[in-house]
Amino acid sequence: MQVLSQFTGLLLIAIYFAAMIGIVLLLRKRQQTKAEYLAAGHMAPWIATAFSMAATWVWAPSMFTAAEEAYKHGFAGVFWFVVPNVLTLILFAFYANKMRSLRPNGWTFSDYIREKYSKRTHTAYLVESFGLQICSMAVQLLAGATIFHKITGLPFFWTTVILAVVPLAYTFFTGIRSSIATDFVKMGFIVVVLLLGLPIMLNNTPAHCLFDGLGGITGDYRSLGGSTGWNLFLTFGLPTTIGLLSGTFGDQMFWQRTFAVRPDKVKQTMIAAAFIFAVVPISLSLFGFFVAGSGIEVADTQLTNVTAVLNFTPRWFLYLFFLLILSGLISTVDSILCAVSSVAGHDVMERIKSSKGFPMFIESAFGKWLFGGELRLARLTMVATLILAIAIANIPGITITYLFLLYGTLRSSVMLPTIFAIKGYKMSEKGLFWGIVASLAIGLPVFAIGKLGGNAAIIVTGSLLTILLSGIMSRTIDREHAIATHE
C-alpha cells in the first residue's frame, strides 16, 4: 500500500518537526520553575487548554478505530465509540472543577490520595498511572508507525523512534506550556483538514455510498438492536464505554491540564474540549461509511481511513492527511511525556524526600546528581517512558484496538475510588488499597483472557470486575476506620 516515498515521508515529518519547534520558540521566555514546567504556573489560558484537552483526547483510537468501526460495524460501532468519548469529557468537567476547588494549586490527583490516605494507596495509584502512560504511548507509536510504514515504507522500528523523539525534543525543556501551545495549533489543523476532506469525498463518490455504508461492510449494523447489535454492545460497546468513562479519572494527562488552566475556567474548558474533539471521530466515521458503502474490501481494517483518502480524494490531500495523523498522534505523545514528568517531578520526588533513607541517599553521588532539582527527575522519567513504550510498540502481533481496550480497562481500576474521593465519600485506607489491587490482579487478567479468546461473557465480566472491585471494597472493608476526604 506504499503511496509515498520514504524521502517524502521523512520530509513531511521534518516539516512538522520544524513547525513545532518554531511554535515553542515563539513562546515568551519563562523561568523553568517547578510550577511553570509542570503546571504552566496554574494559569494557562482556557481556550488554548480546551484545544489541548481535545487534542490529547484525540489519541490513536479516535483516528483509526472510528473509521474502522464505521467500516466493520456501521452506525452501531460508531455510536458505541463516539458517544462515550464525548460524554466522558462532559462528565469529567464537573469533577475536575470540584477537584480544582479542593486543590487550587495542586499537581496530581494521586498526590491528593497520598495526603488523605497512605503511601501504599498512593503507590497503587502510581502503578496504575505509570502503567497507563507507558501503554498509552505505545498505542500512539504503534498506530503511527503502522500507517507510516504502510504509506511510505519507512522502517517500522525507526518510525516508532522518530515519533517518540520529535515530541520529546520540544517538551523536554519547556514542559506543559509547550504541549498546550502546540496542541492548540495541531487541533486547529486537524479540524480544518477534516472539514475540508468531507465535501471532497462527497463530490467524488455517489451520494448513496454514505447511506449504504451506515450498516457497515456487511450491512447488518444500522441499528443498536437485534442480535448483531446486542453482541457488539457486549464485546465492544460495554468495555469501550467503561474504559472511556474512566479514562479521564485515572489519567494524569487530564488532571495536569485541570491544575494548569485558570482556576475559574476549569468547567468551561472541559465542556468546550468535548465539542471540539467530537469533530474528529464523527468526521473519520464518515470516511469509514464511504468505504463500506462503496463495497471496497480493506485488507487491514485499521487503515480504513487511509483507504478512503486514497480512493476519494486528490493526491495533495494525502499529504495533509499524513500531517493530520502525525498531529493527532504526537499531541497525545507530548501530553503523556508531560504527565509522567509531573507525577515523577512532584509525587515521586515528595516520596523520596519523605523517606527515612533520604539524608543518606542525597549524599550519594547519584543522589546529588538526581537532586539537581525536581525537573531533572521529571525529564529522566520522560526518557525512560519513551524507551519502554517503543519496546511495547514493537511486540510482534500487537494491535491498536487490543491495546486501547486493555489500557482502558486498566484505568477503570481507579475510577470509582477517584469519584468517591472527590465527592467526599468515606473510604477506608485498607479497602482502598486492596480494592485497587484486586481490580488489577483479578479484573484485568479476566478481561485479557476474554479478549484473547473472543468470549463476550468473559470480556464483560473482566470489565465489570475491574471497575467495581475497587469501588465496592473501598467502601465496605474496615468501615469503622473509613474517612471522608473533605474532612
Q: What does 137-206 look like in DSSP terms, one character per residue?
A: HHHHHHHHHHHHHHHH---HHHHHHHHHHHHHHHHTTTTHHHHHHHHHHHHHHHHHHHHHHHHHHHHHS-
Distances in Å between the Cα of 134 and the Cα atoms of 16, 31, 154, 390, 393 are 24, 29, 24, 9, 10
Would you state the pLDDT for residue 346? 93
Measured distance CA(153)–CA(147) in Å, rounded: 9
d(CA 148, CA 136): 19
Query: In this structure, how many other beta carbons lie within 10 angstroms of the beta carbon of residue 164?
Result: 26
Question: Considering Cα of 245, then 247, then 249, then 250, what sign does the dihedral take?
Answer: positive
Cα atoms in the Cβ-side hemisphere of radius 13 Å centred on 247? 27
Determine the pLDDT at residue 404: 65
| Segment holding 128, helix H or strand E | helix 119-152
**In terms of CATH, what superfamily is 6-28+45-406?**
Sodium/glucose cotransporter (1.20.1730.10)
Instruction: Give the C-alpha separation, 50 to 269, whole Å.
Output: 5
> 133 and 164 in contact (C-beta within 8 Å)?
no
- For residues 117 and 123, give the distance between their C-alpha atoms in angstroms, rounded to a whole number: 11
The model's pTM is: 0.88
What integer pLDDT is reported at residue 385 of this predicted model? 94
Question: If we measure between CA atoms, which residue out of 164, 188, 180, 169 comes closest to residue 21?
Answer: 169
Q: Which residues of 455-469 are buried (b: 16+ CB within 10 A; e: fewer)?
A: ebebbbbbbbbbbbb
Residue 21: exposure state from Cβ atoms within 10 A (0-12, 13-18, ≥19): middle
Task: Please tell me whether residue 207 adopts helix, strand or coil conformation.
Answer: coil
Please answer whether residues 98 and 258 qualify as being in contact, where contact means their C-beta atoms are separated by less than 8 angstroms. Answer: no
Tell me which residue has cell 499529504. 319
The H or E element containing residue 423 is helix 415-423
3-state secondary structure of 426: strand
pLDDT in 10s for each residue of the chain, 487 residues: 567 788 888 898 889 888 888 888 887 677 778 999 999 999 999 999 999 999 999 876 677 889 999 999 999 999 999 999 999 999 999 999 999 999 999 999 999 999 999 999 999 999 889 988 988 898 888 888 887 887 888 899 999 999 899 899 889 888 999 999 999 999 999 999 999 999 999 888 887 888 899 999 988 888 888 778 888 888 788 877 876 777 788 899 999 999 999 999 999 999 999 999 999 999 999 999 999 999 898 888 878 888 999 899 998 998 899 899 888 888 889 999 999 999 999 999 888 888 776 666 665 666 656 556 688 889 999 999 999 999 999 988 777 666 766 676 677 889 999 999 999 999 999 999 999 999 988 988 887 788 777 777 887 788 789 889 999 999 999 887 787 777 6
User: What gap in Å lies between CA 72 and CA 232, rounded to an integer?
Assistant: 11
Unique residue bearing C-alpha cell 481494517: 301
- CB of 50 closer than 8 Å to CB of 266: no
- Could you identify the residue written with the cell 447488518? 220
What is the C-alpha radius of gyration for the chain, rounded to an integer number of angstroms?
22
Q: Find out whether 474 and 420 touch, Cβ atoms under 8 Å.
A: yes
Contact 421, 112 (CB under 8 A): yes
CA–CA separation, 139 and 186 (whole Å): 19
* Residues 348, 350: Cα–Cα separation, whole Å: 5
Residues 140, 309: Cα–Cα separation, whole Å = 20
Q: Which residue ranges make up each domain of the chain?
A: 6-28+45-406, 413-487
Check: CB of residue 63 under 8 Å from CB of residue 284: yes
3-class secondary structure, 209: helix
Amino acid at 248: T
Place of cell 467500516: 71
Handedness of CA 208, 79, 268, 270 (dihedral sign): negative
Helix (H) / strand (E) containing 65: helix 60-102
68 and 401 Cβ atoms separated by less than 8 Å: yes
Cell of 454: 473472543
What was the pLDDT predicted at 431? 94
